[in-house]
């Protein structure tokens, strides 16, 4: 497998090396995600909301550490990652965790006495492609 370097733009020095995922790793990740999604779909919206709110709590607790990593990885100012990136991701998880139990379907009366309804439920696995310069925010928005 080919190794890639993560270069710190401020100094031009490599921070670390990593292997890009190949087809086998991607297929394994998809299979594991599909298995996990089945369990996730069985949880109640209240339970799923708790997980999202717990994620928000962890992001808040680890804000300073994660902001430092984010600043180095994205070559952006620490003040920006401290005050925006992790906080924004936390807010996203907190918001959706708080409303998870309130998201429901809709009932609509149709002409002629019939009706239609919708059900909101987890359907499956999807992939999200994020920007290199806002990885934590992008991840939160896609989850």
Smallest Cα–Cα separation from 30: which of 122, 126, 121?
126
pLDDT tens per residue across all 143 residues of the chain:
689 998 888 889 998 899 988 899 999 999 999 999 999 999 999 999 999 999 999 999 999 999 999 998 888 999 999 999 999 999 999 999 999 999 888 999 999 999 999 988 888 898 888 888 899 999 999 88
Q: Which residues contact 110 (CB under 8 A, 6 or more apart)?
A: 116
Angstrom distance (rounded) from CA 89 to CA 64: 13
Residue 29 CA to residue 107 CA, distance in Å, equals 37
Tokens matching residue 17: 């090396």
């Amino acid at each position: 497998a080919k190794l890639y370097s993560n270069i710190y733009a401020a100094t031009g020095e490599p921070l670390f090396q990593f292997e890009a995922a190949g087809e086998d790793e991607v297929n394994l990740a998809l299979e594991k995600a599909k298995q996990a999604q089945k369990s996730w779909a069985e949880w109640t919206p209240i339970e799923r909301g708790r997980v999202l709110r717990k994620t928000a709590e962890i992001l808040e607790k680890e804000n300073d550490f994660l902001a430092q990593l984010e600043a180095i990885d994205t070559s952006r100012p620490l003040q920006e990652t401290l005050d925006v990136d992790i906080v924004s991701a936390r807010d996203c998880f907190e918001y959706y965790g708080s409303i998870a139990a309130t998201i429901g379907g809709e009932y609509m009366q149709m002409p002629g006495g019939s009706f239609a309804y919708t059900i909101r439920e987890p359907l499956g696995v999807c992939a999200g492609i994020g920007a290199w310069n806002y990885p934590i925010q992008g991840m939160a928005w896609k989850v």
